[in-house]
Amino acid sequence: MKKGVLLVNLGSPDSTNPKDVKKYLDEFLMDPRVIDVPFWLRSFIVRGIVLNTRPKKSAAAYQKIWWDEGSPLIVISERLQEKVQQKVTIPVGLAMRYGSMTLKKGMQELVDQGVEDMLVIPLYPQFAMATTETINVKVEELKEEFFPNLKTTSLPAFYHRKDYIEVLSKSMAEKLKG
């Protein structure tokens, strides 16, 4: 079985335009794993209040951090994917849980490269319902509907792993020396 890796991050609006921000916020905030209340209440809060008041403010906030290349989260994630791909011999894909860089597109790109066994790596060290769990659930849904022959495994939380802590510690020590 040909193996591959799918790196997954949170996502971003396509631009700082309030319409793009509104679309992104709707997808993100309507996820029951992000706002864990009954649908009717989540819909009232998100679509009745938040999406009528927040997109312009959020768009202005995104404008303050947006890079010439695009969303910092997307750009940094793409750079990470490129660096990881240079160090391994198997295909490395990238997807976002929310936004236009969908999990389905990321999975499809790997399948198109012949990947039959995919390791999903949520780019969060901790487990949380609103981050890691929503990725794993969506991957399973997509697998069942579109990729029934794809074997998937998800990297478990790694916040407590010795090698992760060492890398963080070294990075901090280097910055504190300067």
pLDDT on residue 91: 98
Question: pLDDT digit string (tens) for 154-176?
Answer: 999 999 999 999 999 999 999 99
SS3 of residue 119 by DSSP = strand
Mean pLDDT of 10-39: 98
pLDDT on residue 51: 98
Question: pLDDT digit string (tens) for 124-137?
Answer: 999 999 999 999 99
Confidence of residue 25 (pLDDT cuts 50, 70, 90): very high
Task: Indicate if the pLDDT at residue 178 is higher than 80.
Answer: no
Per-residue buried b or exposed e for 7-35, using 16+ beta carbons within 10 Å of the residue's own CB: bbbbbbbbbbebebbbbbbbbbbbbebbb
Instruction: Calculate the average pLDDT of the chain.
Output: 97
Strand blocks (E) in 61-159 = 92-98, 117-122, 151-154
Three-point CA angle 120, 8, 90, nearest 5°: 50
End-to-end Cα spacing for the chain = 47
Displacement of CA 26 from its chain's centroid (Å): 16
Residue 92 φ/ψ, nearest 5 degrees: -125, 115
Number of CB atoms found within 10 A of residue 154's CB: 17
pTM reported for the whole predicted model: 0.94
pLDDT on residue 164: 95
pLDDT on residue 152: 98
Cα distance between residue 41 and residue 78, in whole Å: 36
pLDDT on residue 158: 94
What does 12-53 look like in DSSP terms, one character per residue?
--SSSSHHHHHHHHHHHHT-TTTS-S-HHHHHIIIIIIIHHH
Cα distance between residue 9 and residue 71, in whole Å: 12
Confidence of residue 49 (pLDDT cuts 50, 70, 90): very high
Mean pLDDT of 8-12: 97
